[in-house]
Amino acid sequence: MRFYLIRHGESEDNLNMITSRVDTKLSANGKAQVKTLRDEYADISDKKVIVSNLLRAQETADLLGVKSYEVDERVREIDLGEFQGHSFEELERIYPEETKKRFEEPFIFKFPGGESFTDLRERTKEFYEEKVELGEDIVVISHEGFIRTMLSIAVDKVEAYYNFKIENARICEIEVIDGFPIILSLIHISEPTRQAEISYAVFCLKKKKEKFVIENFAKSEV
């Protein structure tokens, strides 16, 4: 069986560089991105489609011309709770202690009023194993966090979450043969214009690396 994982088009929150809210919509650029993906999607339009319950994913499905789909909350983005709707700089100012813990323990930190990456991985793994058992090819229109987690499950390494960059309106493919997952593709080019963006997860990793460099530089000066 094969998973076709599609990240939604650029959202208004992606464009404004703030952590995504539940009800954020696609930006004008995001809609254009999705439209350029239509021909590619046409090749797999006969597959069963599962869509996140979040608006930006459902808008993506509609623009792709998906005729019918099943909504599954397990494929939604990680719930950032009180961190939603803030710029990265605002988070560091408003939640300094929580942000510090997020850097130090990225996989067990639980967003205030939201989920941890462990929560995300557990529901993603449940979804993955259920669909592999059924053995039917499926298209999943989802989010960066969910897709990264699916890929980290495929390589059986939690930390691999940070090794994948999933851009908007792209298709990733995972084929599972006799229970063994194979990542077939990570990038499908389909963009009219794509603005530079950075996810909260990547931001955290960059900050963690900066801290590592600063600390080791300081040690070398002792």
**pLDDT averages per 10-residue partition of the chain, 222 residues:** 97 82 90 94 95 97 96 96 90 92 91 95 98 98 96 94 91 96 69 39 46 37 36
Active site residues: 7-8, 14, 56, 77, 143
What type of residue sits at position 138?
I
Q: Tokens for 75?
A: 């494929």
What global pTM score does this model have?
A: 0.83
Q: Kind and range of the H or E element at 140?
A: strand 138-142
For the chain, the helix, strand and coil percentages under 3-state DSSP, each to the nearest 5: 50, 15, 35
Classify domain 2-221 at the CATH class level: alpha beta
Hey, which residues does 11 pair with through a beta bridge?
Answer: 26
> What does the pLDDT read at residue 190?
35
Contacts of 4 (CB under 8 A, 6+ apart): 44, 47, 137, 138, 139, 140, 171, 172, 173
Q: Where are the domains of the chain?
A: 2-221
Q: Mark out the alpha helices in 65-189 (DSSP H runs).
A: 88-94, 96-104, 117-134, 144-154
Contact, 70 vs 51, CB < 8 A?
Answer: yes
Contact, 59 vs 35, CB < 8 A?
Answer: no
> What does the pLDDT read at residue 187?
55
Task: Please choose, from the candidates 35, 42, 63, the residue with its C-alpha nearest in 3D space to the C-alpha of residue 51.
Answer: 63
Instruction: Centre a 10 Å sphere on the Cβ of residue 159 and count the other Cβ atoms it contains.
Output: 10
Alpha-carbon distance of 165 to 47, in angstroms, equals 25
